[in-house]
Amino acid sequence: MNAAVVRAKLVEVLQEIQAASGLECPPIAGATKPLEALPEFNSKIWPVAVGMLAANLGITIAPDVNIFRQDKSCVALTIDEAVAKVIALADAQALAANTAHAINSK
């Protein structure tokens, strides 16, 4: 999965959510931490963003996976860190699908 594509889709989703909510959307760059930089971007909103991003990319992201926060912590992630997390999830899914296909082909 291409990091530039994931980053562009993620920024697009975040801008769309902020616009639909009638909230300000400051410029979003690789070092932006959405949980800190976007007004009212909280635990009620990030699952929607994750779902929209997954749909746009054609992948599955479990509902409890927060790509905007470090696992099991309160540390907010940057856009670039979130992109890396999404790519890792997508790569794991692709590997699992390829493995299942290889097993079923035998």
Read off φ and ψ for residue 76, nearest 5 degrees: -75, 140
- CA torsion sign, 14 to 17 to 18 to 19? positive
Report yes or no: 50 and 96 within 8 Å, Cβ to Cβ: no
Write out the two tokens for 13. 């989703």
Q: Is the pTM of this model over 0.75?
A: yes
| pLDDT for the residue 82 | 98
Hunting for tokens 């794991």 — which residue is that?
Answer: 92
Write out the two tokens for 72. 């099991």
What pLDDT digit, counting tens, does each position of 53-90 carry?
999 999 999 988 999 999 989 999 999 999 999 999 99
| pLDDT for the residue 63 | 86
Residue 67, SS3 per DSSP: coil
What are the distances in angstroms from CA 44 to CA 48, 76, 84, 98, 101? Answer: 8, 16, 23, 34, 37
Longest pairwise C-alpha distance within the chain? 54
Name residues whose C-beta falls within 8 Å of residue 95's C-beta, 6 or more positions apart in sequence: none
- Banded pLDDT at 100 (limits 50, 70, 90): low
